[in-house]
Structure 1
Amino acid sequence: MLMEVKKSLKLMSYYFKFNISSAMEYRVSFLIQSIGMIINNSAFIFFWWILFNNVNTIGGYGFKDVMMLWALSSTSFGMCFVVFGNINQITRMILNGELDTYLLQPKDPLINIICSKTIVSAWGDTLYGIILFFFIKGINIKIFLLFLLFCITGAIMFSSVLITIHSLSFYTGNTEGLAQLVTEFLISFSIYPEGIFKGGIKYILYTIIPAGFMVYIPAKVFNDFNISRIFAVLAAALIWMCIAYMMFYKGLKKYESGNLILNKL
């Protein structure tokens, strides 16, 4: 098991370096997309700043608390698509029978698939979140390392949820629309104060849509350090990762060979 984890991490490292090299071949495009995303996201700071000039708190959150939610969600989202840039292509590859190439290689098929591409604009999301964190907390290495840990767990949960949804394509057909909807839900629920959500919605935020473990609990840790909360976040990330792997590989048993020539005939 440990050997398989090492192999997967090595493969991820290889793809990460390759994807960076590919992106750097078009430096101007890379910078434009990244900076453009940072500017686009920064516009929301102005919106929240105006809002909090008229009210003291929203759902128990102040201005810096909301900005921490944005920092965590933006960096987690960015990391997900920087490292796992091909994740939204899973459904298309299943339906078009394009998994064969990956299945024939002596590597973990799932890691091989999702890491084979990076989304350039996601670098802007990642940098935006990191810059925003330093704006809120200043330069503190220990706190920043904790922030990175939460962003990594957030990226794992974000990607795991998407893998789980896309894996439903093995059973139900095209789930791209559902995956897009879930992505929007994850982002939307992660950038607003937890206190504005009541009843059943709050329950959903800690189960079906794990925004609670992605941003709400981590944000609380920065205000009131609690080791049990950190372990809860780590456990949630591990559980979602296991769910994603289980859904993908169980679904893979239903996958039919994607010989496109034969299918057209």
Structure 2
Amino acid sequence: MLTEVKKSLRLICCYFKFNISSAMEYRASFLVQCFGMMLNNSAFIFFWWILFNNVSTIGGYTFRDEMMLWAISSSSFGFCFVVFGNVGNITKMILNGELDTYLLQPKDPLVNIACSRTVVSAWGDALYGMIIFFLIRGFDVKGFLLFLLFCITGALILASVLVSFHSLSFYTGNTEGLTQLAIEFLISFSIYPEGIFSGGVRFILYTIIPSAFIVYIPAAVIKQFSIFMLLKVLGVSVLWIATAYGMFYKGLKKYESGNLIISKL
């Protein structure tokens, strides 16, 4: 088991280096997309600043607390699509029989598929979140290390949720619409104060759409450290990864090859 994890990590690192090199071939385009995304995200700071100038707190959150949600959610989203940039295409590949190339290679198919491309604009999301963190927390080394850890767990949970929803395509056909809805819910819920949600919605935020473990609990731990809450986030991350792997490989037994005789360099 440990050997397989090491192999997967090496594969992720190799793809990461290759994707960076590929993106930097067109540096002007890379910079434009990154700064364009950062500029787009920055517009929301103005919106929240105006809102919090009229009210002191929303759902128990101050302006700084809200900005921390944005920092974690933005960088988690960025890390996810920088490293696992192909995760959004899994349904299309299943329906078109395009998994053949990956299944023939001596690599973990799911990791191989997810890491085979990067989303350039996601670099802008990742950098934007880090800048917001330093603006509201300053040079807090301990806080920043926790921030990076939670961005990694957030990215893994986000990628796992998407893989799980995409894997439903093995059973029910096209689930791109459902998966897109899931990611929109994840992003939308993650950037609003937890206190404004109640009842069944809060239950969803801790289960099907785990925004609580991507941003709410991490933000609380950074503000006031709790080893118990930290371990809870780590445990949920492992649980979602296991769920994604289980659903993908169980569904793979139902996969119908597209008989595409192509090679992947």
Both structures adopt the same fold (TM-score exceeding 0.5) = yes
* SS of 1:26 mapped into structure 2: helix
Q: In the alignment, is the contact (CA less than 8 A) between 1:96 and 1:260 conserved in 2?
A: no
Whether 2:80 is the aligned partner of 1:80: answer yes
For residues 158 and 64 of structure 2, the distance between their equivalents in structure 1, rounded to whole angstroms, comes to: 23
Q: In the alignment, is the contact (CA less than 8 A) between 2:100 and 2:260 conserved in 1?
A: no
For residues 208 and 150 of structure 1, the distance between their equivalents in structure 2, rounded to whole angstroms, comes to: 19
CA deviations on 1:180-207 (whole Å, 9 max, x unpaired) are 1001000000000000001100011000
> What is the CA-CA distance between 1:256 and the residue it aligns to?
1.5
Q: In the alignment, is the contact (CA less than 8 A) between 2:156 and 2:241 conserved in 1?
A: yes
Alpha-carbon RMSD across the aligned residues, in angstroms, is 0.8
In structure 1, stretches of 5+ residues that fail to align are none
Aligned length: 261
For residues 254 and 171 of structure 2, the distance between their equivalents in structure 1, rounded to whole angstroms, comes to: 8
For residues 100 and 175 of structure 2, the distance between their equivalents in structure 1, rounded to whole angstroms, comes to: 20
> What is the CA-CA distance between 1:223 and the residue it aligns to?
2.0
> What is the CA-CA distance between 1:260 and the residue it aligns to?
4.7
* Structure 1 equivalent of residue 13 of structure 2: 13
**Amino acid of the structure 2 residue aligned with 1:101:** T
For residues 167 and 72 of structure 1, the distance between their equivalents in structure 2, rounded to whole angstroms, comes to: 26
CA deviations on 1:72-109 (whole Å, 9 max, x unpaired) are 00000000000000001100110000101000000000
* Structure 1 equivalent of residue 148 of structure 2: 148
Alignment TM-score, normalising by the size of structure 1? 0.97
For residues 228 and 151 of structure 1, the distance between their equivalents in structure 2, rounded to whole angstroms, comes to: 18
* Structure 1 equivalent of residue 180 of structure 2: 180
For residues 193 and 26 of structure 1, the distance between their equivalents in structure 2, rounded to whole angstroms, comes to: 38
Once the two structures are superposed, the pairs formed by residues 4-153 of structure 1 within 5 Å of their partners are 4-153=4-153
% identical equivalent positions: 73
Q: Which moves more between the two structures, 250-259 or 59-68?
A: 250-259
For residues 231 and 35 of structure 1, the distance between their equivalents in structure 2, rounded to whole angstroms, comes to: 35
Q: In the alignment, is the contact (CA less than 8 A) between 2:87 and 2:114 conserved in 1?
A: yes
For residues 135 and 223 of structure 2, the distance between their equivalents in structure 1, rounded to whole angstroms, comes to: 16
Alignment TM-score, normalising by the size of structure 2? 0.97
In structure 2, stretches of 5+ residues that fail to align are none
For residues 252 and 184 of structure 1, the distance between their equivalents in structure 2, rounded to whole angstroms, comes to: 26
